[in-house]
Amino acid sequence: MTGRVELTATFCYASPVDPQDFSAYTKAGLDIKFRPHVDKKANKNAKNPKMDSFFPASEWRTEQEQRNDLAKWETVLHGKQNYNGSSLKGSTFDIHYNARAGAGNAYRGDATLIPYALVLTLKAPKHLNIYEDILAAHGPLQALESRLAIPVRV
């Protein structure tokens, strides 16, 4: 991408509720990490790309911190970061599913799949053909058609 890029991401998911466990009322949560550049590693021996903190720490905490705070998972995460276009290549969000049963870890067969949605917004004023370039790189994507009239500010 050309120039500065503003990336905004919102994750929403529906965590199942455990009504029998008042202290850990959610049965599942997501641990989300952002990898901005596929070729940049944390060190020369690293196998995976370097991860960046995307969501503010006040909104997103580690699993242990959440368990210490009555085991609550936040089910709506929103973050915004600015990058140089050259620092983004093959960017991904890694989504790790955490499930539990009775405030403990759940076994694979006990975990319920949870629906989630990710909304990404890219602003790159110097990248003039961003829409066309994204569609060319990711053929299956389709533009969403609104059922309501939405005013667009330019």
Per-residue pLDDT of the chain (154 residues; tens, 9 = 90+): 889 999 999 989 888 777 776 665 677 777 788 999 999 888 888 888 888 778 765 455 566 665 555 445 678 888 999 999 999 998 999 888 877 665 555 555 666 778 889 999 999 999 989 888 888 888 787 777 778 887 888 8
Q: How much is the pLDDT for 71?
A: 45
Reading the block at residue 91, the tokens are 């960017």
CA distance 126 to 112: 43
Give the C-alpha distances (Å, rounded to integers) separating 153 from 121, 128, 147, 150.
15, 18, 18, 10
- Cβ of 151: how many Cβ atoms within 10 Å? 4
Confidence (pTM): 0.72
Q: How much is the pLDDT for 111?
A: 67
Cβ(105)–Cβ(23) below 8 Å: no
For residue 27, with 0-12 CB atoms within 10 Å meaning exposed, 13-18 middle and 19 or more buried, which class applies?
buried
CA distance 24 to 103: 6
Cα torsion through 109, 93, 104, 76, rounded to 10: -110
One-character DSSP codes across 17-69: B-TT-SSS-BSEEEEEEEE-BTT-BSSTT-SSBPPB--S-TTT---HHHHHHT
